[in-house]
Amino acid sequence: MTLSGLLSPLTRRTRWRGIQGICYNEKGISAVEFALIAPLMVLIYFGCIELSLLMRADRRVTTTASSLGDLTARLITVSDADMNELFDAASVTMQPYSALSTRMRITSVVDNGDGQTRVDWSDGYLMTPYSPNALISVPAGLVQSPGSVIVAEVEFEYDSTVGVVFDASQTLTDVFYLRPRRVTQIARVRDTDPGTGFSPSS
């Protein structure tokens, strides 16, 4: 028997074992799986963080709008000093978020018995107030005829501190409607109104 004939079986056996080694070698498979899954896990992790921060800010906006409307609905008349205190209290409620990123508006909507809802008065903090007597839409059946309702609006510019999954900036808004607690219609008394003692003609 020649030398090549003696080595031929060994060569085939070695080749087969090499193929088997490739098929059954599991060394490093965990590292490959981790490399494939890790980016997705990191994305989910940061997504959960951003979602929780966004939900926290949204709840703060809802709480502020509810408190702003509730405090206003408890009054009989609203003076300029009252309005400043209402906006100051709402700014405190928004903490730890900056009041400079928060826009607020309080509006008294009335129905004088004609079935139309109009603006009686409106004040805004970093937000343009509605024009008096302007038509405004509210949910059906909310305002009695005749009657009125207080509309409290809050807008907040949320800037994500992570910005991986969601957009870096989003506008969170909420609106609350509350009927006056003690009177049918809350009057707005401004310092410049005649008879208040603060008009230029006094």
The pLDDT tens digits for 84-127 are 999 999 999 999 888 888 999 999 999 998 889 999 999 999 99
In a domain, 27, yes or no: no
Q: Is residue 179 part of a domain?
A: yes
Question: Is 197 contained in some domain?
Answer: no
CB atoms near residue 61 (< 10 Å): 21
Residue 194 falls inside a structural domain: no
pTM over 0.85: no
Q: Which residues of 127-146 are buried (b: 16+ CB within 10 A; e: fewer)?
A: beebeeeeeeeeeeeebeee
The count of structural domains within the chain is: 1
Structural domain of residue 126, as residue ranges? 33-188
**Does residue 65 lie within any of the structural domains?**
yes
Q: Is residue 74 part of a domain?
A: yes
Instruction: Return the pLDDT at 136.
Output: 94
Query: Would you say residue 161 lies in a domain?
Result: yes
Q: Do the Cβ atoms of 194 and 201 come closer than 8 Å? A: yes
The Cα–Cα gap between 55 and 83 comes to 28
Domain-located, residue 169: yes
For the ranges 17-21, 108-112, 159-163, the maximum mean pLDDT occurs at 108-112
